[in-house]
Structure 1
């Protein structure tokens, strides 16, 4: 991956917890590291295929100064997401913010925070077997598309499936969508749980009936055993109603633990 650097941009702004910081302001030193592919730009001498770092510098400075924040952690997160939203060619951004005049009553060179944000691809499984099942799924997709920093980029067909795990219930409709997102898996899962609640999801019986079920199946090549969101989904390789629609939109997506493509997992399961 190619890199573009903006190092030690000096900006005067009014960020800080203390009243004096907000009133008087102070100097901050900002650095950016962008990861992208600018080979086409280099070969064709075409700036539109890279990032105009002069333009970016001015845009970031304007963003930096437009609102006072208590925490510089908030500032770097805001800048990182702005860069990824503004420049689709950028795959990942690292932001380092130094605060050389930090009011701690001690001598120090500077206090600083650093963050990295990236453009990620996630696959979300949707299922419903109560009421107007198709509408619940369609409404969920619309709501997911409206989540900030989430863009729906692929949609599989909606398929009829038999219940799995607990069979004494109505048949399901299932599908899978692909999204591009700047959110972390935990942030995305919180949004999905909120949408489930909006669509009257009630959790009474494991694998039981539900108006809508939203699960993160894959998220980049991440392997996570976080209690809040386990990735890859631990039962995805056992569920044809997940693999069938996932295979429509991402047959070559790799299961990072089993080291198999989606089409291979589906073939194994059918055998």
Structure 2
């Protein structure tokens, strides 16, 4: 496993429309979701060389998040988050840890203002 440096690539407010949720209305009508993700990657090489080939592409990370968001409907956003984390670890061996937050601003509960959300903290399995 890579040493922990505290370095990270961050993508915030990734917006998606999906059909995840427990209730039949969520599966039928869908709703908005927002994802914040931090990927622990040693950024020493790109920081010192200024070479694109020494870092991970934000666009490539986004594509993996999108593919996993759209790939399989889940009842729980916890399962959705875990699917995204698993996909990122499979595609990018450079990622040592991930923090992911999935926000559901239109959760079917009586909220005057706010959103329901979960956050997972995962370290690459050994």
Question: Structure 2 regions of 5+ residues with no counterpart?
Answer: none
Matched, 1:35 2:36: no
Kept in 1: contact 2:11–2:37 (CA 8 A): yes
Q: 3-state SS of the aligned residue for 1:23?
A: helix
Kept in 2: contact 1:3–1:33 (CA 8 A): yes
Matched, 1:92 2:113: no
Kept in 2: contact 1:80–1:116 (CA 8 A): no
Alignment of 1:2-151 (within 5 A): 2-120=7-125
How far residue 49 of structure 1 moved from its aligned partner, in angstroms, is 2.5
Kept in 1: contact 2:97–2:121 (CA 8 A): yes
Using the size of structure 1 for normalisation, the TM-score is 0.43
How far residue 5 of structure 1 moved from its aligned partner, in angstroms, is 0.5
Alignment partners' CA distance in 2, 1:47 and 1:63: 25
More contact order relative to length (CA 8 Å, sep ≥ 6): 2
Q: Deviations over 1:178-230 (max 9, x none)?
A: xx2xxxxxxxxxxxxxxxxxxxxxxxxxxxxxxxxxxxxxxxxxxxxxxxxxx
Alignment partners' CA distance in 2, 1:66 and 1:78: 9
Q: Deviations over 1:38-91 (max 9, x none)?
A: 211222223232210122112211210121100001001111121122111111
Using the size of structure 2 for normalisation, the TM-score is 0.89
Alignment partners' CA distance in 1, 2:38 and 2:77: 18
How far residue 105 of structure 1 moved from its aligned partner, in angstroms, is 2.9
Aligned length: 121
Cα 1:50/1:107, change in 2 over 3 Å: same
Q: 3-state SS of the aligned residue for 2:15?
A: strand
Kept in 1: contact 2:45–2:54 (CA 8 A): yes
